[in-house]
Amino acid sequence: KLLLILISTVLFFGCQESSVPSNMEEMPNMKIEEYNISVNEVELNNMFNNYRNNDYIPVTISYNKNTRNAGMRIRGDSSRDYAKKSLKVKIVDSVSINTQTIFNFNAEYSDKSCIRSFLSSLIFKKLNYPCFTAKFSNLNINEKYHGLFLEIENMDKSFLQKNGLNPNGDLFKATKDGACLYAPNEVPLKWERKTNKKSSFMSLENLINEISTTSSQDFYEYVKANFDYPRLINFLAINAFIANGSTYYHNYYLYRDHENDGKWILLPWDLDKTISYYNWKPYKYHSTSSDWENDNTLIEKCFLNKKIFQDFQKRIKSIGEIINFDFYDPVIQDAIAKLNNSVLRDSTNQISSFKLWKSQIESEYEFLNNRSTKLINEINQYPQSFEVNKTPAEICLPFEISWTK
């Protein structure tokens, strides 16, 4: 029996990792890019004063002596309220810069280590999971140093193609808080179509309805038939491993290759609130939403299913064998060496000294140390998820509320 279990596990995860391009495993050599932006000072100040506005202001962006006309705006959701703003630059000329026409510069203001999103994206890639590429960039605006930013790859057809996914597939972004796969009527308000923009949201609305109406007894077979199951388990396990509590109700993508197998894949986004970020809460693997939004129906039902829950825990254990000290220590040490000057030079972040920065990095080390074992222990200690039986649409006194064990 033990031999059969071992063989099944190897086949399950081995097939999973061989189904994606091998180049996703390559770890980048960290370097800091340098961009120069020129803009009218009045329009720049107006953009920062009206940071909720999504209108682009005209700028020029230069990189390695290549200059292009572009538009720039503030990007992000709740992060717009931070003192340091994230920026989006879109080239309007017909010629790109290094094949790029869209640049996402994340301020990473809430991250005093500066490395959580970068490191988390590398963890996804190391585990052969499709994830955006992240690199550090210094921005200069009107010949003045503006700060250190994390440049995030845009999620579009080019991203899909690079990751071995059909660029003609449907890519949806969970944009607003509450994009929890809870009810079909949430879709137009909380989701964006990133490909095939002239098509309807019907496939996503149908998915939400099916997830809600499929019984617990049939849910495992439903998931196997409609999702890339190995990738779904991987996604759940990696998010738990990196303590990604800021997802499942926003900050993720759904992709479906409707021209081929039609199975859904979840894709990560916005990974700054990971690793040690939720130490104050602490992070709970089964928390799928903020306190004021609905729970994510897909993830909740996955954790309620015994087979999926077992596969989820098995994958967490195997991740610990790959994402260990030998993996993350060189990355962090490289970051300390190469980011040091920019971090301390940046007056817009929350890092006032090298000592403060180093202490936060030590928190990331402490979190990652023996992470899989600690996470499995937490899962065994936490109260497990349970299912509340639905009440009628209209209730009157007296009524009963019931739930499973």
* Rounded Cα distance, 362 and 336, in Å: 11
List C-alpha distances in Å: 283 to 21, 40, 370: 32, 44, 16
Euclidean distance between the first and the last CA atom of the chain, given in angstroms as a whole number: 29
pLDDT digits (tens, 9 = 90+) for 349-388: 999 999 999 999 999 999 999 999 999 999 999 988 888 8
* Rounded Cα distance, 126 and 132, in Å: 12
Phi-psi category of residue 384: left, alpha or beta, with phi > 0 → left and psi -120 to 50 → alpha:
beta
Per-residue pLDDT at 210 = 97
Copy the structure tokens of residue 189: 């308000």
Per-residue pLDDT at 325 = 97
Copy the structure tokens of residue 266: 């979840």
pLDDT digits (tens, 9 = 90+) for 7-23: 444 444 444 443 334 33
The residue type found at 79 is S
pLDDT digits (tens, 9 = 90+) for 145-188: 999 999 999 999 999 999 999 999 999 999 999 999 999 999 99
Which residue from 295, 279, 267 is spatially nearest to 155, judged by alpha carbons?
267
pLDDT digits (tens, 9 = 90+) for 232-283: 999 999 999 999 999 999 999 999 999 999 999 999 999 999 999 999 988 9
Cis, bond preceding 392 (omega within 30 deg of 0): no
> What secondary structure letter does DSSP report for 268?
E
pLDDT digits (tens, 9 = 90+) for 33-47: 999 999 999 999 999
List C-alpha distances in Å: 60 to 67, 73, 337, 379: 7, 13, 31, 51
